[in-house]
Amino acid sequence: MFLYRNKWNELIETTGFSDRVATHISVIIPARNEAASISNILNDVLAQNYPSSLFEVIVIDDNSDDKTFAISSQFATRHSQVRVFKLSELSDKNNKTSAYKKQAIESAVNLAKGTLIITTDADCRVQENWLRSIASFYETEQCKLIAAPVCFHHDKTKFQKFQALDFCGMQAITAASLELKIFNMANGANLAYEKEAFLSVKGYHKIDDKASGDDMLLVYKIAQKFPDSIRFLKNKEAIVYTEPCKNIQEFLQQRFRWTSKSGSYQDKRITIILGLVYLFVLSIWINAFCFLFSSTFHVLTFGSDLFPLLLFQLAAKSITDYFFLSSASGFFGRKDLMKSFVSSELLHLWYIPFVGTFGNILPYNWKGRKLK
């Protein structure tokens, strides 16, 4: 964690953007049952401080049961930059894959006119200089893929603040991992890559067996061909905002979905890192149980000897996490989240072993579908 923190702090934060941009961009928004939010993201993108002749918006409706397609189509009628398609009309009817989001993005890439593909989610909000900051970085650095920052907002409860703080940490780890050339971290809510780079690695071919992983697995695949052209954009203007889960059930379904792709990691370094984190937190619970069991029933002779180790583990984790999260939350302008650090740390101790264990076993629900 200290290595991650150092790499995150070493990463230069870019500010501002170029007044002159020339990159043609295709913004891809896969959407399923997002009638309540699709208007917000489309309005945000259409209001970008970016030449209207240089970007388009492609919405792929993934068999929505609500008015997502109808609302998106209204935007397409009023704005020539917006194109809307139904996934059912683009995909192979004989393809029984459960990776609907990957299928939607791949279909959109094939339709895209832009040189640079930028993906986001239908329930996100973007700032007016979002496209310009990414395009400026792309034109300066000539990257094949850019992972850009995502942050939670509208977090009201302690549980939602835990998610927001945890997510700040994930974003900093993403940046640090890419700097360390560990290419298994990114978020599809704010991901940019060259269309040609996507096509040159055959898109999601051979990584389309999991419903999740449209971001992280793609990063690794492109990095295998262009290892020196993967970057993280540390720029506040590029931050995309999304909302945390409303309750524990929704949260667990989200994290089960994220965890489900862990068996597909080809870079075993990330598997080892995640495994060590899982075992470390699990050992805290085991040591705590043995100590309490021994103190209560006087059965385990070594139980009381575990108390110093337990204190050391808790102190080591808490101190390390505090300094790391303090740095990460500062970039996102969310230092206020550190007020909930203690409660968040307790929740973190619970969810790591729980999700790490059951996320690879249990199916999960996503957008009304039961997947695994």
pLDDT digits 0-9 by tens, 188-206: 999 999 999 999 999 998 8
Q: Torsions phi, psi of 194, nearest 5?
A: -70, 140
Question: Which residues have CB under 8 Å from 25's CB, separation 6+?
Answer: 50, 54, 55, 56, 114, 115, 116, 117, 118, 131, 134, 135
pLDDT digits (tens, 9 = 90+) for 35-66: 999 999 999 999 999 999 999 999 999 999 99
* Distance (Å, whole) CA 345 – CA 317: 9
Q: Which residues of 280-292 are buried (b: 16+ CB within 10 A; e: fewer)?
A: ebbebeebbebbe
Find out whether 113 and 26 touch, Cβ atoms under 8 Å: yes
- CA distances to 48, 179, 325 from 337, in Å: 29, 26, 9
> pLDDT value at position 298?
66
pLDDT digits (tens, 9 = 90+) for 291-310: 887 877 666 666 667 888 99
Superfamily name with CATH number, domain 2-247? Spore Coat Polysaccharide Biosynthesis Protein SpsA; Chain A (3.90.550.10)
Task: Work out the average pLDDT over 305-333.
Answer: 94
* Distance (Å, whole) CA 194 – CA 181: 19
- Rounded to two decimals, what is the model's pTM? 0.92
pLDDT digits (tens, 9 = 90+) for 157-174: 999 999 999 999 999 999
Q: Which long-range CB contacts under 8 A does 79-86 form with residues at least 24 apart?
A: 79/46, 81/46, 81/52, 81/55, 81/56, 81/57, 82/42, 82/46, 82/56, 82/57, 83/56, 83/57, 83/58, 83/59, 83/111, 84/58, 84/59, 85/58, 85/59, 85/60, 85/61, 85/111, 86/60, 86/61
- Averaged confidence pLDDT in the chain: 91
153 - beta bridge partners?
A: none
Quick one: which of 152, 149, 115, 155 has its CA closest to 133? 149
> pLDDT value at position 169?
97
Packed helices 306-331 and 268-297: angle between N→C axes, nearest 10 degrees: 140
Residue 16 has pLDDT above 60, yes or no: yes
Residue 94 has pLDDT above 60, yes or no: no
> pLDDT value at position 363?
81
Q: What is the DSSP string of 68-94?
A: HHHHHHHHHHH-TTEEEEEHHHHS-TT
Quick one: which of 225, 232, 229, 224 has its CA closest to 266? 224
Task: Work out the average pLDDT over 352-363.
Answer: 86
Task: Work out the average pLDDT over 77-98.
Answer: 84
User: Locate tokens 């096509």: which residue?
Assistant: 199
Give residue limits of the domains in the chain. 2-247, 269-366
pLDDT digits (tens, 9 = 90+) for 223-276: 999 999 999 999 999 999 999 999 999 999 988 888 876 666 667 777 888 889
Residue 176 has pLDDT above 80, yes or no: yes
> pLDDT value at position 116?
98
Residue 317 has pLDDT above 90, yes or no: yes
Tokens of 188: 């599809």
Q: Tell me what percent of the residues of the chain surpass a pLDDT of 90.
A: 73
* Distance (Å, whole) CA 90 – CA 371: 22
Question: Which residues have CB under 8 Å from 284's CB, separation 6+?
Answer: 310, 313, 314, 317, 349
Q: Tell me what percent of the residues of the chain surpass a pLDDT of 70.
A: 94
> pLDDT value at position 96?
59
Q: What is the DSSP string of 242-286?
A: E---SSHHHHHHHHHHHHTTGGG-S-HHHHHHHHHHHHHHHHHHH
Residue 372 has pLDDT above 90, yes or no: no
pLDDT digits (tens, 9 = 90+) for 102-148: 999 999 999 999 999 999 999 999 999 999 999 999 999 999 999 99
* Distance (Å, whole) CA 341 – CA 263: 31
